[in-house]
Every structure is written in C-alpha cells, then in structure tokens.
Amino acid sequence: RPYQSRREKDARKFAELLHSIKTYGFKGSIWLQRQPDGTLRLIAGETRLDAAIKAGYTAISSDIADVDDITAVKLSRVENARRKDLNALDDTEELLYLLMLTLSKDRAEMIECLYRYKNASEGKSSISAQDREAIEAVFTEVAPDISLATFITSRLPLLKLPEDILQAYNAGQLEYTKAMALGRVPDDLVRQELLGEVLEQGLSLSALKAKITPASGRT
C-alpha cells in the first residue's frame, strides 16, 4: 500500500492465527487490486498473508479486483473494520489517505481541511461546499460508526504522538486513553519514565493521570 497500516501486529492473535492455519489450513482469501501495469497491490488480508508465509505456504487463494485507488481503499477500510484488523491509529491513517485521494489533497492540506471543517461547523471559519460534502460522503459510506467530530478531535491527535508512545501503542502495550494522556507530557524524560511505569506496573488511567500532574511540573 502507498500508506502505512498494521505497523505492528498483536503477537498473541498472530500466534493464534498461525496455529489455526497450520492446523486447519488457510481459509478464505486475500484481496488484491490489479494495477495498470499488471502488478498486484494488497487491499486486505495482510495479517493472513504474513501468517500463511510463516506457515510455509507458497500459494493461497486471492480475489483480484479491477478497481481504482479510491475504491480499493474503501474496500480495505470496510474489510478491516469488519475484522477489527486495525487499531485506532492505523484506521485513522487509512481514512486520512482515502480523504486525500477523494479530495485530491496532500496529507498536510487534508489535515488542515478537516480542522477547517470542524471550525466551520462551530461557526468559527468557512469551508467550501464541495469539500464539506466530499468529507461527509466518505464518512457516510465507509465510516458511519465514527462521527466526524470524534475523528477530528480524538483521532487526528494520534498522528502527533511522540514516537515512543506510538511504538508502545502499536505493539498493543498501551491503551488509547493512556497513550493520549502520556502524549500530553511535554518533557521527554518525564514521559519516558511514566511510560515505563505504565508498562511495568500496569498503572490504571486514573493512577497515571494522578502522576502526570505533579510530574509535568518537574524541572
């Protein structure tokens, strides 16, 4: 894919899938998009593909779709949402990429457009009717379970999290709420210390927040 998704896999779930494939065989198929030059691009099934390769398979079933890039990302999002294959960060990246393709904007322009949409809905700014309708159409079609307000205020900030927090979150070691709380700690050393406590001691969100307030004032 031209965008990142599934940067880390849940080790336990992957082991379970690998065991299932080794025991019962590969079931179903992966989805591929045929490119204009005849090559194939993965639409959905990355984890199943990786598990099949690790299990020693040299051939598996696939469904090949002759669709454009926008349709391919829509199919990927629908399938990943059905299987719950992506965490919130990866799902955000996929939706953002779909919006970029649909509105013909680069990443920075699209993020700015989304915040402009939010401000316009609050009467603080304006946005073209074309952009507004295109954004709303994407969410109506492929993400009806996520409100635009939630995506902009709760999902987009995930993209700005420090790298150490992102790594722990993508590895399944850190819940979304704790990742966001740690991401607000400006001091790198303090944040890393708190992250270590969360990972080693399994601090609850309330306990973490209680530590963050005094820790943020350290000099």
Establish how many alpha carbons lie within 13 A of residue 219's alpha carbon, considering only the half-sphere containing its beta carbon: 0
Q: What are phi and psi of 107, to 5 degrees?
A: -60, -50
Taking a C-beta distance cutoff of 8 angstroms, is the pair 48, 74 a contact? no
* Residue at token pair 């009806």: 144
Distance, C-alpha 195 to centroid of its chain: 21
Taking a C-beta distance cutoff of 8 angstroms, is the pair 50, 60 a contact? no
Per 3-state DSSP, the chain is made up of helix, strand and coil in percentages (nearest 5) of 65, 5, 30
Residue among 202, 203, 174, 185 at smallest CA distance from 89: 174
Q: Residue 167: which H helix or E strand, with range?
A: helix 163-170
The pLDDT, as a whole number, for residue 219 is 44
pTM: 0.77
pLDDT 10s digit of each residue in the chain, 219 long? 666 555 556 678 889 999 999 999 999 899 999 999 999 999 888 888 999 999 999 999 999 999 999 999 998 888 877 766 667 888 898 899 999 999 999 999 999 999 999 999 999 989 999 999 999 999 999 998 889 999 999 999 989 999 889 888 887 888 889 999 999 898 999 999 999 999 999 889 999 999 887 655 554
Q: Both ends of the chain: CA-CA distance in Å? A: 44
